[in-house]
Structure 1
Amino acid sequence: MLRITKLGEDVLRQVAVPVEPEEINDEFRVLLNEMFETMIEANGVGLAAPQVDISKRFFVVIADDDVRRVFINPQIVATSSDLVDYEEGCLSIPKIYEKIKRPSQVTVQALDENGKKFQLEADGLLARVIQHENDHLDGIVFIDRGDAEFKKEAEETMAKRQKRYLEKLKAKEAKERKIAARKLAKQNKQ
C-alpha cells in the first residue's frame, strides 16, 4: 500500500513532469499495480501520481465499467460544451464533497502501461474521473473548481485535521520515547 498525500502537501500543488519513454518498464508497471491496489483499498475510482508523492504525469482509473485504465502523459484534446454537475470527492481530501461542474464528455490521448499511444472518448463517470485525475497533474484539486467559500472551508478543515494528526503523532512519539527510556533504565539496573 502506498501512502496517499493530503491537501497541504506541496506535491499536490506542483505541475507534474512528463514520464520519459525509458521510465515505462517492469518496475514502473509494479508501481502502477500498487497504485491500483491503493486506490481500491481506499474505495477510490482514480489515483494520480502526485497523490502518492510522485510529481509525474500519470494516473490510474477504474470507473463504472470496472476496466483498469492507465494514462501516462495524458492530454485532453477535446471536451463537450455541455456541462454537468456531479458530487466529487478526493482521496487526498477525505470526507469532503462538493458538486462540481465539468464537461460531460472528453477525448484524451495518452500512453498505456506499455508505452503505446491511444486515444479514448469518454462520457459519464469515466469522463469526470479522467478530468479530475488530469487536474492533479497540473496541481489542481477539485475544491479549486467549486465555490470559493467551500474551498476556504475545505482548506481550513484539512489544516485542522493535519494539526490534530501532527499533535497525535508527537504524543505517540513522546510516549514511545518514555517507554524506551523505562526499558533502558530497567536494563541498566539489572
Structure 2
Amino acid sequence: MAAAKPNKGKADGASGNMMGLVSKGLAVTATILASLFFAAALDLGHLDLAHTLSGPAIALVPLFAILAIAAMFLVPKSDADAAAIANAAQIAELLEFQSRATSQIIALQNKVDSLSGQDAETLKARNKELQDQLDAIHQAERDKVDSQIEALRQRNEELEAQIKAWALEAVGKSVKGETPQPMKAA
C-alpha cells in the first residue's frame, strides 16, 4: 500500500526560491510606490512631488495595486503547505482505496450469501426432517413410558388387592386363633 513518492527535489526548491524572489521584488516595488505617494500627499521635503506625480499617478496607482496584489498571491508555498497538499492527496487516495475495498467486500459477501443461500435452504429442509424424526422418537418413547407406567399401576393395584386380601385373611385367622400363613412374594 506504500505509494511511490515522486522525487520533486531541486525542481520544487528552485521554483520556490524563484517565486520567493519575484514576490519579494514585487512587494519592494509596491512599497516604494506607496512611499512616493505618501511623500507626495504630505509634500515632504517641499519637493513638490504632488505636481510632479499628478500626471503619472493615473498609471502609478493601478501599478501599485497590481504589484501589491501580485506580491500576495505569488508567495511561495511553505513546506507545511506542500506537506498538507501531499497529505490531502494521500487521504484522497486512501478514501478511494477504502471505497473500492468496501465495494469488493460487499460484492464478495453477496456472492457468498447467494452460494450459501441454496445450502441454507437445503439445511433448513434437512433440519425440519430431522426435527420431525426426533419428535416421532420422543413421542414413541413417551408412549412406551406411559404404557409401562400404566402396566406398573395395574400391577400395583393387583398387589394392593392381594395385600388387603392377605391382611384380612391374616386378621381373620388371628382372631379365630389360627396361625396365619405368610404372604407369598409376588
Q: TM-score, normalised by structure 2?
A: 0.25
The structure number with the bigger radius of gyration is 2
Q: Is the helix fraction higher in 1 or 2?
A: 2
Q: TM-score, normalised by structure 1?
A: 0.25
Q: Is the strand fraction higher in 1 or 2?
A: 1
**Highest RCO, 1 vs 2 (Cα 8 Å, sep ≥ 6):** 1
